[in-house]
Chains A and B, each alone.
Chain A
Amino acid sequence: MSPLERLARLDRRWIFLMMGILVLIPLLWPLRMEIRPTASSKTFHRAIAAIPDGSTVLMSCDYDPGSIPEMVPMTRTAMRQLWEKNCKVVVTVLWPGGPGLVDKVIEDVALADFPGKRYGVDWVNLGYKPGNEAVMVLMGQGILTAFPNDYRGHATRSLPIMQRARTYADFPILISISAGYPGTKEWVQQVQARFHLPMVAGVTAVSAPEFFPYVQSGQLVGLLGGMAGAAEYEKLRNESGDASRGMDAQSLAHVFVALCIVLGNLVPRRRAGS
């Protein structure tokens, strides 16, 4: 039996093992390959840098623990950039699995890097509401109607940050960090299109390609795609977070998958039933 024929009968668990090893090794012994920010990441960074200092910004973190490696680094880096500009941040989470995670992520950034930032004054987590597009449009007519209480059970009407954040017209920008539905696409369709609120987005890599048309048409003024986008954003901010540390492993895994595609086409085709 030739090597290629042997390869054709390869148990897929060997492929699983190789994938696991190739991801593990660079995490233990980093290769420190250089990360070069793309034009897309630069526009995202520039769009947030252009926000007037001290503004109140709307950020929708529509993800859950299934997308932590891609979404959390973007959220952290964006929060740091916003708080350096003294911006106040109103956060919503339209995924049911997300509010606890997002609250912890932002709280950790505050505790570690901005201990002076106070909940209810400098940021608020409005929490979760079901209803997808209906919630987005409902917020347009009155955020307090959609969210009478925040994630921590406080009446939103009583929070200092919400005194000047009642409708979309009160925000200079919407930052959408989203892992799927509901998320960036729905924000573009229901909020950017209807209320003309400028938007930037950080999305998972699997959905990033579909948002390039929105960038080209100007509906999104900046886009981060996946862990690579998050790593580029960290690089632009001179930070070294989880996304940057994961890019070496990402590189080797991609080369492995590319090899799998090439080798898979070289091995003799298996007959049906064999």
Chain B
Amino acid sequence: MKREVPLFLTAVIGVFMILSFFVPHQVVSVPGQFLQLTAVIVVACGYVLGGANVLRVNIDAIAKQQPGWIYKLVLVLSLLGTVAIGAIEGSQFLDPGRRSRWIYDTLYSPMSATMFALLAFFIASAAFRAFRVRTVEAGWLAAAALIVMIGRVPIGDALTGFLPPALHLSSIQEWIMNVPQNAAKRAILMGAALGVMATGLRVILGIERSYLSGED
């Protein structure tokens, strides 16, 4: 019951979704659409569950006064505050002028952008400390990286503008992207597609059961 029912559900629904790709008849399309809508609703509940779990873990840490609990208090208060304000403001909570909109524009948006902006510094540091060319293959990688990096930006043409157009760095990087890089990426795409199809079938047939992890 605890494992068999979920495995059965996965198998039936998975086969049905594959069938819906080939059969447009409403006998398949109506239940298929219903299943997709069900997945959308359950995933939305999953997001709410995720938020609730964050709350549970951090409230626990505050109660036990674990190291850094003051920061976890900031986390919990900001979470509850955002939810409360959004709940009060209703379905148009992101309209201009609303407090929820202020939270999104002033807190969420700039911090989200800045977190990712830090990566630029780390990529430069990693390029210096970790990018080691020790083999011929790594040399190919480095050469391609350097040509594409410089050729993709205006300075590439500024440095090689005196050469014939076919030898401009931008032309060489375009050739690299359209021919050898394209070939390699296509091979990876096709290989990954076979892998996903195999894994999908394994999940549907109940051979892959890792999503049922946990005690019975």
A touches B in complex, CB < 8 A: yes
Residues of A whose CB lies within 8 Å of any CB of B are 10, 12, 15-16, 18-20, 23, 33-36, 38-39, 64-68, 96-97, 99-101, 103-104, 129-132, 134-135, 137-138, 141-142, 145-146, 149, 151-153, 194, 209-210, 212-213, 216, 228, 247-248, 250-258, 260-265, 269
Q: Return B115 CB to nearest CB of chain A, in Å.
A: 7
Interface 1/0s, chain B 167-195, versus A by CB < 8 A?
A: 00010001001100110011011000000
Q: Does B152 sit at the interface, judged by CB under 8 A?
A: yes
Sample 10 A-B pairs with CB under 8 A, ordered by A number. A65-B108, A67-B116, A100-B101, A129-B40, A134-B43, A228-B152, A253-B120, A255-B150, A262-B146, A264-B131
Closest 3 pairs (CB-CB, A-B): A131-B40, A33-B154, A251-B155
A258 with B153: CB separation less than 8 A: no
CA of A269 to CA of B109, assembled, Å: 41
- B36 touches which of A38, A131, A250 (Cβ 8 Å): A131
| Inter-chain contacts of B188 with A (CB < 8 A) | 210
| CB of B214 within 8 Å of the partner chain | no
Residues of B within 8 A of A64 (CB): 112
Set B104, B125, B131, B156: member contacting A265, Cβ < 8 A:
B131
B125 / chain A contacts, CB cutoff of 8 Å: 12, 15-16, 260
Q: Is the beta-carbon distance between A145 and B154 smaller than 8 angstroms?
A: no
Establish whether residues B110 and A130, one from each chain, have CB atoms under 8 Å apart when the complex forms: no
Segment at the A interface, from B55-63, B66-74, B90-98: B90-98
A198 to B204, CA, bound (A): 31
In contact, A65 and B153 (Cβ under 8 angstroms): no
Query: B residues 111-167 with Cβ under 8 Å of A?
Result: 112-113, 115-116, 120-121, 123-125, 127-133, 142, 145-146, 149-150, 152-158
The answer to whether residues A261 and B94 also contact, given A34-B158, A138-B40 and a CB cut-off of 8 A, is no
Given known A-B contacts A149-B91, A153-B92, A228-B152, A65 and B39 have beta carbons under 8 A apart = no
Query: Is B36 within 8 A of A36, CB to CB?
Result: no
With A131-B39, A210-B189, A247-B153 in contact, do A264 and B21 touch (Cβ < 8 Å)?
no
Shortest distance from the beta carbon of A125 to any chain B beta carbon, whole Å = 10
B29 at the interface (CB under 8 A from A): yes
A264 to B37, CA, bound (A): 52
Closest to B196 in A: A189
CB of B111, distance to nearest CB on chain A (Å): 8
Q: Note all chain A residues with C-beta closer than 8 A to B47.
A: 96, 130
Besides A130-B47, A254-B155, A265-B142, 17 new A-B residue pairs in contact (Cβ under 8 A), listed by A number: A12-B128, A15-B121, A20-B121, A34-B158, A39-B174, A67-B116, A100-B101, A104-B105, A130-B43, A134-B39, A141-B33, A210-B189, A212-B181, A247-B153, A251-B156, A254-B150, A254-B153
Point out the residues of chain A lying under 8 angstroms from B21, CB to CB: 194
Chain B residues with CB below 8 A from A129, complex form: 40
> How far in angstroms is the closest Cβ of chain A from B140?
14
B44 near A: Cβ within 8 Å? yes
- Give the contacting residue for B186; candidates A138, A146, A213; CB below 8 A: A213
A260 touches B128 (CB 8 A): yes
Across the interface, do A261 and B157 meet the contact criterion of CB distance under 8 Å? no
Distance in angstroms from B116 CB to nearest chain A CB is 4
Residue of A38, A145, A248, A256 near B124 (CB, 8 A) is A256
Are A213 and B185 interface neighbours, CB within 8 A?
A: yes
Selected from B91, B113, B130, the residue in CB contact (under 8 A) with A65 is B113
The interface residues of chain A lying within 8 Å CB-to-CB of B33 are 138, 141-142, 145
CB < 8 Å neighbour of B182 from A213, A250, A269: A213
Q: How far is the CA of A117 from the CA of B152 in the complex (A)?
A: 36
A16 with B132, Cβ < 8 A, contacts A96-B47, A251-B155 known: no
Q: In angstroms, how far is the closest chain B Cβ from the Cβ of A136?
A: 9
- In the docked arrangement, what's the CA distance between A257 and B115, Å? 20
